[in-house]
Amino acid sequence: MKDKAVHYVCSQCGRVETKWLGRCPDCGSWNTFEEEAVRKASDGKRAVISTATKPVSLDEVEVDPLFRYETGISELDRVLGGGVMRGSSILLGGEPGIGKSTLMLQVLEKCSTGRKVLYISGEESPSQVKLRAQRLELNLASISIFCDTRVEVVVSLLSDEKPDVVVVDSLQTLTSEDIPSPAGSVNQIRSCSTTLVGLCKQLGISLFLIGHVTKEGVLAGPKVIEHLVDTVIYFEQISSGVQLIRAAKNRFGSVDEIGIFSMHEKGLSPVANPSSFFITDRLTKDIPPGISYTPVIEGSRTFLVEIQALTTSAKNGFTRIYSDRIDTARVTRVAAILERHAGLHLSDQDIYVNVAGGMKLNEVSIELPLALALWSALTNKSLPKALISFGELSLAGEVRSVGFPDKREKAAKELGFKRSMVPKVGTRSPLVQHVCSTVKEALELVNSLK
């Protein structure tokens, strides 16, 4: 009896090899090649995207004025770029239990007005999904459910029913009869997602795919899936009961927007005032040493965040930096600038950095407030009350300008802040500005303020 043909597929990027390799030549990952049976020849019935038998001019293409519609959930619409596009495919990933299925049920119920919606479950039975929908107090009659993991059956159902919005929970449970591999394998995920995305684009169905994530926090399966879909959204938990969604890819909008949700018994609800969500009520109280405030820009919105720093003497002569909300390399660079250009002695200190509320910060504008927080922690001197700061630090110790200073100061003014430390004088500023050109000048200035 002849052995079945096999090949080896990289679980990270999808590269196919005839023999096992320890390291993938494409993505560089180690020990990611998995043995899979060779796929049978296709019968040619897979969904394809086609315009006609010949090319057409873009001027002749008709666009429905309702091509984009809102989901009814404001924070999700913001991340998606204003709503869902007909025929688009959206991949949603997140940790187990974070609320992906809950959010999708709420989306379907909101979209059911005037539209046909369908929930395809490959992980839960209809009764389990119904119990969740009852707990969320959703309109049960507005949502149709179908439980099957065979992609051929799903394709037949979609072709017959032609719903407007479909949720597949989850992508890793789908299987194709053409692929002699278990569910969740690279070949199965790639083949099933390609089939569904192509069919939904052809029929104008908005498709939501729920995906699993690995222990590293990235979506499970080959990277080609993220290239295939139109939008990739990550669901993160930033603190107890608070979730954040962020787009890693969006063909129809910006990837800078974030959505903030709070988890309640009745499901996920948008945070009412996200601009002040990440700061504690300290405007009327004395600020402890090591605390600074800064406005950051995320898409079209401005958030006020609290940066916390703590320094302690290093044990056994080995210094360490603990920071998971701000990149450790950035903290190391700011500490080196303070030591070289401001005379602070941080080389024998363990440094701890945190952001209140759990938000991750990547903007260069946080470097000046981070420097002020480190100085405050090291000297045990509190920064002045109602003061914000923003600016980029150069390796020469200069404080450089950043974008949208007026927008940042306006948001701070609305939340009760009165003063700002900035690298450049702004016109018609709503705050009392204290201008500094170097980090040494900034520290001398803040030390003299009351």
- Binding-site residue numbers for ATP are 94-101
- Alpha-carbon distance 304 to 280, whole Å? 10
End-to-end CA gap in the chain: 87
CB 374 within 8 A of CB 321: no
**What's the token pair of residue 20?**
């096992």
Three-class DSSP category at 346: coil
Residue 424, Cβ neighbours under 10 Å: how many?
14
Strands 242-250 and 258-264, by their bridges, are antiparallel
228: Cβ contacts below 8 Å, ≥ 6 apart? 89, 193, 194, 197
Cis peptide before 170 (omega within 30 of 0): yes
**Binding-site entries:** 94-101
Reported for 397-400, long-range contacts at CB under 8 A and 24+ positions apart, including other chains, are 397/337, 397/340, 397/341, 397/342, 397/438, 397/439, 397/440, 398/437, 398/438, 398/439, 399/368, 399/423, 399/436, 399/437, 399/438, 399/439, 399/441, 399/442
In the chain, count of helices (H) and strands (E)? 10, 23
CB 291 within 8 A of CB 278: no
CB 174 within 8 A of CB 122: yes
